């Protein structure tokens, strides 16, 4: 019989068995002609690919990471073409993610690589291990650049790596690829405004951009400085030279339609975001959707817990998954907690997903949990800063606590926490009002006064409380309305709008009385009495303080009790009742010691020091101010520190140490300026003028007096304005000519406990 056909050899033939010359693959896509704005990154990437490794045979791997649409692929392709002459044996290129966001299997990519290197289809091994071995063998002696685009994770990449150092690898990915050993990562961010303008100018021409510069800047903002979005907008405008830029601005103005507008020629921002979203596990998708419910520009990691209704550790791990996927940006400032944010266009897509997948009822429940957690944290921060719920009333809104380790981490420094979260907290008040959660809204707003009073954020105080007042009025929440009127009256008092303060505090006290809130009524009466005292109605003030004192003692608010006693003591001193004044001041100090409120303790000590100065007991004043200074520095109270330093400076002046007094006043001025405490600045200026006048430096004194007068007139502080005018007329008078109003300086500082 005729011999049969020869049996086919098992497995692929070795690479040396092929007679064709080695193929030189050129797989890079075409580079774009208008590439711009990445010169510094290009230099860093070239250095990473070209520098010799410490170990000659170690792989050189450089990863470009960043969010979708930021320009990673464009940058990698441009770099690959610019280095073509350095890699004469070719450039490999493969996209590692398919159009449906699913990863392309490394086996398929290796098959393409092997074919491009001249291996015929029948000779390609079937197993991934053999394909990877053959690939490494074929490129071992070649100088090639390997570009892996849009890698999903480290495992996908490892199969595609060469075995020799003469073939560097350039990877783009939305993930950090931190587990890929020996990789040098370069993060690409959105364009700066200057880079974005340069890109638009190259595509549309300088004349068109410069003629509508304001519209060009708005376009950049609407695109979130994202390279892909800017290119789409520029391409649409280039195709329509008759369109002014302002027309595109108008079309992008509607956020709900913005992603529809950012599509051109089959390319769109939404498609890239959808690809990233679809690749997430269900819990990460859920968190991504719900993050768009946070109207704050940035947020802390703990918010993931109430958004998902799971433990904080689990929720924060999910949040970090979104960070790794480049869907959430994170910023870490040394010494503070990480802050997270959504890019503007990412937020728009997140809102689309939220509307599609979450019902109105689900969204309301999620928002309620987040705001209830805000309220819990704000209340706890106030307790830690004040030693309790002193000088504060609360509503009946639910509180949603976090785990104790998370609370301790967040509130390690409660005052700094208030400062870091200020913008988010104001937004939370606004969201609570928008959701009709009046009880939560007013409670949250009132508790924030801790922050507003300490740093002088009077605009924020007014904004949050007017919002809360409106929602409590709309929902006929009488106690909440009383609380907001009380706090707004206190704000008027702080700003020396005394008639407005008297009106709102009086109405608040009456409303509190009607609803049977003794604590609220006592706090309102306390501040009404303060207004009476400042306006010179001492009998009415004393009567009001006595009524308030009885109420505050009944509800055990020892901090507010201390404030009342210190003001009563000052009235006694004003009337010349020295012994009675000192005894009442001592009672106030004892009350604040019971409360444990170190900040208010410092305020009482400061007032005690001023009282001692008023009656000529300089040594006792120095002792009180020194104790107060230790306290304000330990609690981090800059406003308190500048007032206490001013008191100590007056002590030094009275002791004849003019240089020490002047130096201490300048130190107080620097602190008050940083804290934007304008009333303190005015008082310090006044004291600087007095010290200068006492030394015969009349021109310097007049300069300080003029600066103080400008502040007092702007703040409508009539009493201090009159004192300043008198001192300006008395330049050169005997030392101590302006000391009679030192008690007012103490009163200004002590107002901080009135909220």
Q: What CATH number did the domain enclosing 143 receive?
A: 3.40.50.300
In a domain, 371, yes or no: no
Query: Looking at residue 734, what is its pLDDT?
Result: 38
In a domain, 30, yes or no: yes
Question: In this predicted model, which residue has the larger pLDDT, 723 or 201?
Answer: 201
Alpha carbons 564 and 523: distance in angstroms, whole number: 10
Q: Is the pLDDT confidence value at 479 over 70?
A: yes
Residue 480 CA to residue 475 CA, distance in Å, equals: 10
Are 632 and 652 part of one and the same domain? yes
Q: What are phi and psi of 713, to 5 degrees?
A: -70, -40
Q: Do both 28 and 146 map to the same domain? A: yes
Would you list the DSSP string of 101-123?
SPBPPHHHHHHHHHHHTT--GGG
Q: Does the residue 458 lie in any domain?
A: no
Which domain covers residue 246, as residue numbers?
Answer: 193-265
Return the structure tokens found at 215.
């519209």
In a domain, 571, yes or no: no
Q: Given pLDDT bands bounded at 50, 70 and 90, which one contains residue 21?
A: low
Q: What are phi and psi of 252, to 5 degrees?
A: -85, -5
Claim to verify: residue 41 and residue 173 sit in the same structural domain:
yes
Arithmetic mean of pLDDT, 33-59: 76
Domain final residue, candidates 265, 292, 327: 265
pLDDT, mean of residues 613-641: 88
Strands (DSSP E) contained in 335-482 are 339-341
At residue 301 the predicted structure's pLDDT band, cuts being 50, 70 and 90, is: very high
Q: Which of 187, 206, 225 is the last residue of a domain?
A: 187
Q: Which residue has the tokens 């398929």?
A: 108
| Secondary structure letter of residue 243 according to DSSP | S
Q: What pLDDT shows up at residue 599? A: 79
Q: Are 85 and 178 part of one and the same domain?
A: yes
Note whether residue 381 is domain-resident.
no
Name the token pair of 324.
Answer: 């790794």
Strand 263-264 vs strand 267-268: parallel, antiparallel, or unpaired?
antiparallel
Q: Is the dihedral of CA 11, 17, 20, 24 positive or negative?
A: positive
Domain-embedded: residue 466? no
Under a CB-based contact definition with an 8 Å cutoff, are residues 558 and 600 in contact? no
Same domain, yes or no, for 153 and 198?
Answer: no
Given a cut of 70, whether residue 683 has pLDDT beyond it is yes
Look at residue 595 and tell me if it is in a domain.
Answer: no
Measure the CA–CA gap between 453 and 72, rounded to whole angstroms: 47
pLDDT at 533: 86
Domain's final residue, options 358, 384, 401: 358
Q: Note whether 742 and 627 are same-domain residues.
A: yes
Residue 432 in this model has a pLDDT that exceeds 80: yes
- Do 689 and 730 lie in one domain? The reply is yes
Helix or strand holding residue 100 (H, E): none
Q: Is the dihedral of CA 246, 251, 254, 260 positive or negative?
A: negative
Residue 207 shares a structural domain with residue 296: no
Closest C-alpha to 87, from 22, 143, 7, 168: 143
- What is the pLDDT at residue 565? 94
Q: How many CA atoms lie within 13 A of 320 on its CB side?
A: 8
Q: Does position 585 have pLDDT exceeding 60, yes or no?
A: yes
Answer yes or no: do 30 and 175 share one domain. yes
Nearest residue to 178 via CA among 320, 367, 350, 40: 320
Local structure of 339: helix, strand or coil: strand
Phi and psi torsions of 56, nearest 5°? -55, -30
Whole-number average pLDDT of the chain? 87
> Measured in whole angstroms, how far is the alpha carbon of residue 100 from the centre of its chain?
35
Contacts of 230 (CB under 8 A, 6+ apart): 191, 196, 199, 200, 219, 220, 223
- Note the pTM of the prediction, 2 decimals: 0.75
Are 302 and 329 in the same domain?
Answer: yes
How many domains does the chain contain in total?
Answer: 4
Number of C-beta neighbours around residue 267 at 10 A: 14
257 shares a domain with 293: no
Q: What phi and psi values does residue 149 have, to the nearest 5 degrees? A: -100, 135
pLDDT above 70 (res 441): yes
**pLDDT tens by residue, 68-126:** 888 899 899 999 998 988 999 999 999 998 766 678 899 999 999 999 998 998 899 99
Asked if 181 and 117 sit in the same domain, the reply is: yes
What band does 32 get if pLDDT is binned at 50, 70 and 90? confident
């Amino acid at each position: 019989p005729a011999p049969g056909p020869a049996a086919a050899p098992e497995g692929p033939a070795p690479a040396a068995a092929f007679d064709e010359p080695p193929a030189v693959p050129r797989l890079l896509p075409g580079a774009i002609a208008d590439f711009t704005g990445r010169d510094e990154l290009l230099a860093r990437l070239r250095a990473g690919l070209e520098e010799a490794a410490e170990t000659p045979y170690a792989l050189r791997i450089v990863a470009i990471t960043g969010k979708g649409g930021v320009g990673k692929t464009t940058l990698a392709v441009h770099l690959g073409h610019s280095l073509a002459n350095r890699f004469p044996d070719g450039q490999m290129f493969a996209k590692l993610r398919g159009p449906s966001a699913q990863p392309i299997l490394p086996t398929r990519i290796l098959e393409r690589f092997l074919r491009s290197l001249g291996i015929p289809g029948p000779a390609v091994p079937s197993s991934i291990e053999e394909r990877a071995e053959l690939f490494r063998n074929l490129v071992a002696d070649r100088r090639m650049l390997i570009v892996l685009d849009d890698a999903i994770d480290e495992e996908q990449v490892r199969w595609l790596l060469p075995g020799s150092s003469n073939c560097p690898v350039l990877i783009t990915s939305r993930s950090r690829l931190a587990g890929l050993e020996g990789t040098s990562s370069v993060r690409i961010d959105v364009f700066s405004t200057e880079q974005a303008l340069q890109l638009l100018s190259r595509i549309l021409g300088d004349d068109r951009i410069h003629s509508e510069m304001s519209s060009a800047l708005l376009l950049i903002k609407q695109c979130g400085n994202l390279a892909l979005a800017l290119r789409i907008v520029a391409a649409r405008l280039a195709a329509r030279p008759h369109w002014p830029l302002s027309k595109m601005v108008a079309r992008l103005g509607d956020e709900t339609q913005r992603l529809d507008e950012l599509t051109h020629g089959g390319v769109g921002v939404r498609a890239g975001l959808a690809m990233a979203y679809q690749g997430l596990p269900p819990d990460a998708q859920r968190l991504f959707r719900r993050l768009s419910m946070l109207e704050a520009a940035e947020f802390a990691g703990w918010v993931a817990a109430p958004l998902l209704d799971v433990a904080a550790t689990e929720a924060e791990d999910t949040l970090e998954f979104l960070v790794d996927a480049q869907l959430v940006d994170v910023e870490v400032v040394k010494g503070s907690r990480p802050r997270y944010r959504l890019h503007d266009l990412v937020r728009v897509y997140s809102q689309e997903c939220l509307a599609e997948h979450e019902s109105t009822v689900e969204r309301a429940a999620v928002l309620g949990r987040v705001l209830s957690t805000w309220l819990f944290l704000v209340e706890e921060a106030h307790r830690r800063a004040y030693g309790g719920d002193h000088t504060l009333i609360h509503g009946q809104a639910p509180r949603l606590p976090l785990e104790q380790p998370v609370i301790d981490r967040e509130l390690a420094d409660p005052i700094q926490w208030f400062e870091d979260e200020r913008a988010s907290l104001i937004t939370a008040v606004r969201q609570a009002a928008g959701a009709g959660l009046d009880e939560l809204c007013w409670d949250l707003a009132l508790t924030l006064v801790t922050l507003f009073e300490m740093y002088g954020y009077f605009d924020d105080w007014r904004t949050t409380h007017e919002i809360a007042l409106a929602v409590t009025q709309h929902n006929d929440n009488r106690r909440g309305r009383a609380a907001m009127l009380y706090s707004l009256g206190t704000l008027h008092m702080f700003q020396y709008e005394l008639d407005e303060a008297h009106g709102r505090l009086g109405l608040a006290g009456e409303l509190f009385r009607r609803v049977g809130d003794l604590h609220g009524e006592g706090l309102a009466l306390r501040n009404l009495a303060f207004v009476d005292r400042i306006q010179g109605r001492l009998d009415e003030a004393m009567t009001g303080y006595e009524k308030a004192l009885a109420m505050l003692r009944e509800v055990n608010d020892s901090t507010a009790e201390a404030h009342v006693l210190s003001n009563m003591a000052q009235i006694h001193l004003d009337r010349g009742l020295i012994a009675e004044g000192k005894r009442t001041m001592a009672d106030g100090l004892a009350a604040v010691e019971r409360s444990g409120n170190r900040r208010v303790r410092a305020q009482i000590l400061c007032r005690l020091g001023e009282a001692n100065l008023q009656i000529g007991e300089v040594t006792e004043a120095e002792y009180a101010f020194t104790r107060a200074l230790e306290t304000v520095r330990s609690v981090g109270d800059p406003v308190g520190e500048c007032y206490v330093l001013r008191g100590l400076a007056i002590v030094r002046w009275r002791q004849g140490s003019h240089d020490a007094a002047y130096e201490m006043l300048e130190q107080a001025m620097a602190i008050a300026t940083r804290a934007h405490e304008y009333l303190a600045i005015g008082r310090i200026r006044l004291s600087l003028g007095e010290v200068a006048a006492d030394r015969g430096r009349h021109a310097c004194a007049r300069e300080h007096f003029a600066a103080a007068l400008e502040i007092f007139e702007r703040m409508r502080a009539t009493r201090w304005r009159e004192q300043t005018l008198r001192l300006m007329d008395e330049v050169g008078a005997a030392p101590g000519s302006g000391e009679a109003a030192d008690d007012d300086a103490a009163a200004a500082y002590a107002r901080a406990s009135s909220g």
